[in-house]
Amino acid sequence: NAGVTQTPKFQVLKTGQSMTLQCAQDMNHEYMSWYRQDPGMGLRLIHYSVGAGITDQGEVPNGYNVSRSTTEDFPLRLLSAAPSQTSVYFCASSPDRTEAFFGQGTRLTVV
Amino acid sequence: AQRVTQPEKLLSVFKGAPVELKCNYSYSGSPELFWYVQYSRQRLQLLLRHISRESIKGFTADLNKGETSFHLKKPFAQEEDSAMYYCALFRSGGYNKLIFGAGTRLAVHP
């Protein structure tokens, strides 16, 4: 049982480039979310989804897009990368309000 | 606004000493609170939740609604407890969201 899988683990982008961070879960969870982790700021919610076809914005959505075409996948798209988006990104899934399961994270550097 | 505050960025103790990681929250409804832990090179994982009133790896946390706190405690710290600890609040209503504090790094020295 793989749980939550994120790819890639590391990525370096140039300012202005776009890319997609992949997230897949095999637990049939309805809830999925993306967080960014920055020193001294904890985890901040970027976007989340409560089921296929339903997404909404979190605390820091600017510069990011998401879609949820299937229960399993929840990709995060950076439209035009900026140095301020240098961070560690975590995807999480949850069956309900009791526990969130996290991926291993993607360390993104924008130069 | 809903908020989780962890006032300490770093807590440094010696092995065998008691540990208390502080967490305060602001929430207008009935809160659901959690502690998550991230060990070095591992993914973030749930440590405990207040509704379970359980003890995990010797850690306990009691919800104090009067003081709006959910401090994490352990009577005798072990070196393997060294990790990043996050307090989190589940915000219900509309779309459910998990809100995290800034985290406290616990360093347990031999």
Contacts A90 to B, Cβ<8 Å: 43-44
pLDDT for res A7? 96
Average pLDDT of the segment spanning A12-30: 96
Residue B28: is it exposed, middle or buried by C-beta count within 10 angstroms (0-12/13-18/19+)?
A: exposed
Tell me if A105 and B43 make a contact (CB, 8 A cut-off).
yes
Buried b (16+ CB within 10 A) or exposed e, B39-70: eeeebbebbbbbeeeeeeeebebebeeeeebb
Q: CB–CB of B100 and A58 under 8 A?
A: no
Instruction: Report the alpha-carbon distance of residue B24 to residue B29 in Å, rounded.
Output: 15
A50 or B94: whose pLDDT is higher? A50
Residue A1 has pLDDT above 80, yes or no: no
So what's the pLDDT on residue B101?
92
Q: Which chain B residues touch A60 with a CB distance below 8 Å?
A: none
Q: Which residue among B43, B86, B97 sits closest to A104, beta carbon to beta carbon? A: B43
Q: Among residues A34, A81, A27, which one has the least CA distance to residue A55? A: A34
Integer Cα distance of B44 and A84 in angstroms: 23
- Report pLDDT for B95: 58
Beta bridge partners of B14: B109
pLDDT tens for A49-76 read 989 999 999 889 999 999 999 999 999 9
The predicted structure's pLDDT at residue A97: 65
Size of interface A-B (CB pairs under 8 A): 51
Residue B73: the pLDDT is 96
| CA–CA gap between residue A5 and residue A22 (Å, rounded) | 8
Mutate to test the interface with B, among A68, A102, A106 (most CBs of B within 10 A): A102
Task: Return the pLDDT at B50.
Answer: 83
Query: Each residue of B43-84: pLDDT tens digit?
Result: 999 999 887 778 889 999 988 989 999 999 999 999 999 999
In the predicted structure, residue B93 carries a pLDDT above the cut 70: no
The CA distance from B64 to A64, in Å, is 37
How is residue A4 written in tokens? 């939550």
pLDDT at A109 over 70: yes
Q: Choose the mutation target among A37, A38, A43 for the interface with B, i.e. most B CBs under 10 Å.
A: A43
Sequence-distant (≥ 6) Cβ neighbours of residue A39 within 8 angstroms: none
Instruction: Judge whether A71 is closer than 8 Å to chain B, CB to CB.
Output: no
Q: Which residues of A fall within a CB distance of 8 Å from B93?
A: none
Quick: pLDDT tens for B21-42.
999 999 887 788 999 999 998 8
Task: In whole angstroms, give the CA distance from residue B110 to residue B104.
Answer: 19
Residues A76-95: tens digit of each pLDDT: 999 999 999 999 999 999 88
Work out the average pLDDT over A7-13. Answer: 96
